[in-house]
Amino acid sequence: MAESFGMLLRKLRTEAGISLGELARRIIYSKGHVSKIENGLQRPSAMFAKLCDRALSTDGVLTAAVQPASSQAVEPPDADGGVWVMELDETGGVRFNQVSRRTMLAGAGVLLGSALTRGAGIATDEHTLTVLRSAFYQHRELGMMASPRVVLAPAIAQVHALRTLAAGNPEPMRSELLRLASRVAEFAGWMSQEAGQEGAALWWTDRAVELAAAGRDPHLASFALVRRAELAMYRHDPVSTVGLTQQAQRDPAAGSRILGLAAQFEAQGHALAGDLSAYRRALDRAASLLAVREDGTAPVLGMSSAPDQVSLAAGWSLYDLGRPAEAAQILDKQVPGIRPTARRAKARFGVRRALAHALNGDIEHACSAVRDLLPDIAQVDSATIRGDLRDLARTLNRWHGDRAVREFQADLMPVLNVPS
């Protein structure tokens, strides 16, 4: 008979000469909770296993016991039934239509080709292109501080406008417009992710790759793999996260920025899997690659609102590795350096910082840190941030009798109960 997680935990704890009560103290869980897991009366979470690995120095053995051996979840959950396509309705609002995968693939070339055969004669000069770029930068800036519902409609409209303009211009302006359209489409994919629409996020990312290729920019295909890896990371799928990032890094022409982001997300995937050594190697590569400054006028891919994104990724990953004290120490230093207008990044890493403090038993610090962030969290309306908030609520529920926790949970409910 296969050894259960509880049996394995008891065996490793006994071999380490650590009592049940001492293990509970080290991982900041109740003795009763640990006992229930050892006796098979309660299922362990992935984080519980990582904390036990850390406390018992068992090098990921327990983490592996609660994770599937492999995963093929690279495609969105609704892949078999089609994908969600985000469009503008007649009033300029956003609507979602589910389209079969066969229809989508058949229509993708038509979508791009029809745009390139319409709008002949709409000449565009450098001054107009500069204004169009500025409009995109404003959309990106707004996306850092407001709900994705606010920016998706104008972003989608700009993609359509740029494609139409490209059809009416000769080279090199045609390629310039298509490259800008690809970046706007990639931004629409990011905002779709933040709106909790993974199918739409993947669809827009694929459209970004098509537009970039039409604009003679082959690099975005590798970045699309990085974006898919990021989505897999938020699904807590380490196998797909690592596999996609390693595939992206096999493209030497991708440029140091894309390769660096791929290495960073690879590190975060290894952290999800509980592999400390692989995490460190990948993060070292990311730091070296992201330190290289690339020339060009194209918008920066990935996060640009923090001075040290590698350190933020380290703080994020150390939490996933079951090292909350180290994570809290790094995030305490890095989160205040995020510029005030970057509400989305402040909220994302601020909540992760609170999670680290909560898992480390510093309840009051965790509650006060997130209470200060609640206005930002409400403003940015992020599905991914709400996922971490739910984890925080579950963690704090272990101290449900604490007054600070009760008050915080009451403040948190309106932010979590957001209609989709």
Q: Would you place residue 217 in the very low, low, confident or very high pLDDT band (cuts 50, 70, 90)?
A: confident
Mean pLDDT in residue range 183-208:
92
Per DSSP, 287 falls in state: H
Percentage of residues in the chain having pLDDT higher than 70: 82
Domains and CATH numbers, the chain: 5-66 (1.10.260.40), 83-290 (1.25.40.10), 309-416 (1.25.40.10)
Is residue 229's pLDDT more than 90? yes
C-beta atoms surrounding 336 within 10 Å: 11
Contact indicator for 147, 155 with CB cutoff of 8 Å: no
Can you give the pLDDT at residue 326? 96
Q: Is the dihedral of CA 282, 286, 287, 288 positive or negative?
A: positive
Is residue 96's pLDDT more than 70? no
Residues 6 or more apart whose Cβ sits within 8 Å of residue 169: 122, 123, 124, 177
Q: Would you place residue 200 in the very low, low, confident or very high pLDDT band (cuts 50, 70, 90)?
A: very high
Mean pLDDT in residue range 351-360:
94
Q: Would you place residue 78 in the very low, low, confident or very high pLDDT band (cuts 50, 70, 90)?
A: very low
- Give dist(CA 99, CA 157) in Å, integer: 20
Least confident of 61-75, 130-144, 184-198: 61-75
Q: Would you place residue 3 in the very low, low, confident or very high pLDDT band (cuts 50, 70, 90)?
A: confident
Contact indicator for 335, 352 with CB cutoff of 8 Å: no
Report helix, strand or coil for 96: strand
pLDDT by residue (tens digit) across 115-138? 444 444 578 889 999 999 999 999
Mean pLDDT in residue range 20-34:
93
